[in-house]
């Protein structure tokens, strides 16, 4: 299949409990270079733990590059960054926030990727930021995924991450360009999995992730499972899901029940009616905060990454997903998603919409109206959610 590379090993990692130990261990094995990109980097136990691994690597001579987003990581204290820099970690900030009170479209173009790369050995792709999984020991961890990648796909990750690092360095007139002059990274096969590294940017890959979803949804014959934290699909995406359901495909969508963004939570409910009438199953996750961005289609194709199904991810932010054509990986992810639906989600029934109190309906349509204006700002086709 076009764009897919064979010879990979892809390992599913659920939540920070599996991701952070794997990431730290990979950093401690590094011998040549480390690249880490994240939207949120927090000064908490997890952030300091990962910083410690980066510092240890830099002190033994590894070229360490940390790229953080200027909005998502704005609360990160300069003291922690300075400690890393003094140890030899190269740190750059993508689009630093200067004024929080001026709304400009370019400010919405964020670095939302969550990527890591170590030597020619292993890469990580997913939705997990460098932040503690849970707000407190008594609260279940965020529900999220990452994937560890070994094999030729690591070479594509290297090219993409080095290119962005050098672009940010050049744009800020910083003397921090990567000194690795290799145009590509040759990586030996590590398995038998076919996979593709999907990027979304504002040049060559503006619609790559959305098109990958739409292509696979259009080909679906039996089942579509989607778990997505911020679900505000545009016209094309909604129509694709409706068309799949109407031709007899089981379509299951898992969205947030508990949310840290009330407006997005209310706005997404404006889409429920049309999807439910077509036969789409919608579940709201209640056990903890859903942060996953995953999908499995026909038990053969799967994706894990940073991209939400909303205008900010699909047409504005820099995003990265891995798409996998492998039944073993797809079925492992499907089983995990199904377990979370059965143990922590509540199904939205069509009759529940008609019994919503008036104030809830007002909040839903008010929130959707605000989001619709924002969609218009970014030229994202939204149409009427009832159609």
DSSP string, 350-363: HHHHHT--HHHHHH
- Top pLDDT among 378 and 13 is at 13
Residues 6+ apart with CB under 8 A from 16: 46, 128, 132, 133, 141, 142, 144
Catalytic residue among 14, 114, 268, 382: 114
Q: Is 296 exposed, middle or buried (0-12, 13-18, 19+ CB in 10 A)?
A: buried
- Report which secondary-structure segment, H or E, holds 278: helix 272-278
Residue 99 pLDDT class (50, 70, 90 cuts): low
Task: Tell me whether residue 384 is in a domain.
Answer: no
Same domain for 185 and 219?
Answer: no
CA separation for the pair 352, 103 (Å, rounded):
37
pLDDT per position as a tens digit, 252-279: 999 998 776 777 777 777 788 899 999 9
Catalytic residue among 35, 112, 268, 382: 112
**319 alpha-carbon distance from chain centroid:** 7
**Helices 15-29 and 45-59, axial angle in degrees (round to 10):** 10
CA angle 9, 10, 13 (to 5 degrees): 145
pLDDT per position as a tens digit, 153-190: 999 999 999 999 999 998 887 766 666 656 678 899 99
Query: Is the separation of the CB atoms in 329 and 304 below 8 Å?
Result: no
Grouping H, G, I as helix, E, B as strand and the rest as coil, residue 112 is coil
Same domain for 272 and 141?
Answer: no
Task: Tell me whether residue 29 is in a domain.
Answer: yes
pTM listed for this prediction? 0.91
Show the tokens assigned to 117: 């790369």
Query: Domain containing 48: what range?
Result: 5-191
Same domain for 149 and 9?
Answer: yes
Task: Render the burial of 199-235: b for 16+ CB within 10 Å, e for the rest.
Answer: bbbeeebeebbbebbbebbeebeeebbbbbbbbbbbe
Same domain for 292 and 235?
Answer: yes
Query: Is the separation of the CB atoms in 190 and 159 below 8 Å?
Result: no
Q: Per-residue pLDDT for 105 more than 70?
A: no
Q: 87: domain CATH number? A: 3.30.870.10
Same domain for 74 and 101?
Answer: yes
Residue 140 pLDDT class (50, 70, 90 cuts): confident
Same domain for 124 and 273?
Answer: no
pLDDT per position as a tens digit, 286-335: 999 999 999 999 999 999 999 999 888 888 899 999 999 999 999 999 99
Active site annotation includes 43: no
Same domain for 186 and 299?
Answer: no
- Top pLDDT among 18 and 373 is at 18
Grouping H, G, I as helix, E, B as strand and the rest as coil, residue 220 is coil
Q: How many structural domains does the chain have?
A: 2
Show the tokens assigned to 90: 């190269």
Give the domain-ending residue among 158, 191, 224. Answer: 191
pLDDT at 127: 98
Same domain for 80 and 186?
Answer: yes
Same domain for 145 and 216?
Answer: no
Nearest-Å Rg of the Cα atoms of the chain is: 21
Same domain for 261 and 174?
Answer: no
Catalytic residue among 119, 133, 144, 201: 119
Active site annotation includes 119: yes
Residue 378 pLDDT class (50, 70, 90 cuts): low
Catalytic residue among 14, 291, 326, 382: 291
Task: Tell me whether residue 346 is in a domain.
Answer: yes
What are the beta bridge partners of residue 253?
226, 282
Catalytic residue among 33, 65, 293, 382: 293
19-28, 104-113, 160-169: the lowest-pLDDT one: 104-113
Task: Tell me whether residue 386 is in a domain.
Answer: no
Active site annotation includes 287: no
Same domain for 184 and 222?
Answer: no
Give the domain-ending residue among 191, 223, 250. Answer: 191
Residues 6+ apart with CB under 8 A from 164: 37, 67, 111, 318
Task: Tell me whether residue 385 is in a domain.
Answer: no
Residue 28 pLDDT class (50, 70, 90 cuts): very high
Active site annotation includes 293: yes
Task: Tell me whether residue 382 is in a domain.
Answer: no
Same domain for 163 and 207?
Answer: no
pLDDT per position as a tens digit, 35-94: 999 999 999 999 999 999 999 999 999 999 999 999 999 999 999 999 999 999 999 999
Average pLDDT, the chain: 89
Catalytic residue among 180, 205, 298, 325: 298
Show the tokens assigned to 358: 């008036």
pLDDT at 177: 62
Query: Is the separation of the CB atoms in 322 and 305 below 8 Å?
Result: yes
Return the percentage of the chain with pLDDT > 70, whole number: 88
Give the domain-ending residue among 191, 223, 248. Answer: 191
111-115, 303-307, 361-365: the lowest-pLDDT one: 361-365
CA separation for the pair 35, 347 (Å, rounded):
40
Residue 383 pLDDT class (50, 70, 90 cuts): low
Task: Tell me whether residue 387 is in a domain.
Answer: no
Task: Tell me whether residue 383 is in a domain.
Answer: no
């Amino acid at each position: 299949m076009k764009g897919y590379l064979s010879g990979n090993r892809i390992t599913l990692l659920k939540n920070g409990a599996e991701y952070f130990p794997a990431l730290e261990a990979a950093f401690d094995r590094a011998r040549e270079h480390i690249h880490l990109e994240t939207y949120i980097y927090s000064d908490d136990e997890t952030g300091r733990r990962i910083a410690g691994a980066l510092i240890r690597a830099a002190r033994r001579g590894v070229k360490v590059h940390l790229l953080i987003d200027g909005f998502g990581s704005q609360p990160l204290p300069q003291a922690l960054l300075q400690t890393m820099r003094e140890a030899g970690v190269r740190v750059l900030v993508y689009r630093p926030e200067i004024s929080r009170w001026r709304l400009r479209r370019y400010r919405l173009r964020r670095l939302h990727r969550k990527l890591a790369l170590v030597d020619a050995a292993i890469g990580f792709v997913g939705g997990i930021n460098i932040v503690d999984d849970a707000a407190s020991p008594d609260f279940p961890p965020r529900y999220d995924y990452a994937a560890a990648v070994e094999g030729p796909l690591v070479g594509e990750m290297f090219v993409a991450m080095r290119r962005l690092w050098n672009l940010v360095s050049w744009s800020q007139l910083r003397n921090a360009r990567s000194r690795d002059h290799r145009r590509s990274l040759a990586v030996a096969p590590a398995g038998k999995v076919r996979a593709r590294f999907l990027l979304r940017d504002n040049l060559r890959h503006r619609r790559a992730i959305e098109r990958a979803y739409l292509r696979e949804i259009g080909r679906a014959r039996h089942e579509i499972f989607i778990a997505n934290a911020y679900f505000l699909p545009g016209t094309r995406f909604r129509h694709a899901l409706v068309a799949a359901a109407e031709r007899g495909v089981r379509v299951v969508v898992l969205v947030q029940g508990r949310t840290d963004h009330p407006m997005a939570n209310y706005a997404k409910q404006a889409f429920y009616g049309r999807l439910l009438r077509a036969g789409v199953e919608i579940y709201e996750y209640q056990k903890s905060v859903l942060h996953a961005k995953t999908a499995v289609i026909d038990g053969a194709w799967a994706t894990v990454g940073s991209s939400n199904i909303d205008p900010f991810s699909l047409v504005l932010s820099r995003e990265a997903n891995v798409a996998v054509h492998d039944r073993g990986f797809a079925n492992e992810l499907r089983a995990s998603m199904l377990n979370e639906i059965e143990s922590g989600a509540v199904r939205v029934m069509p009759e529940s919409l008609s019994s919503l109190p008036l104030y809830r309906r007002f909040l839903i349509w008010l929130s959707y109206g605000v989001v619709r204006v924002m969609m218009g700002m970014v030229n994202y086709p939204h149409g009427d959610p009832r159609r």
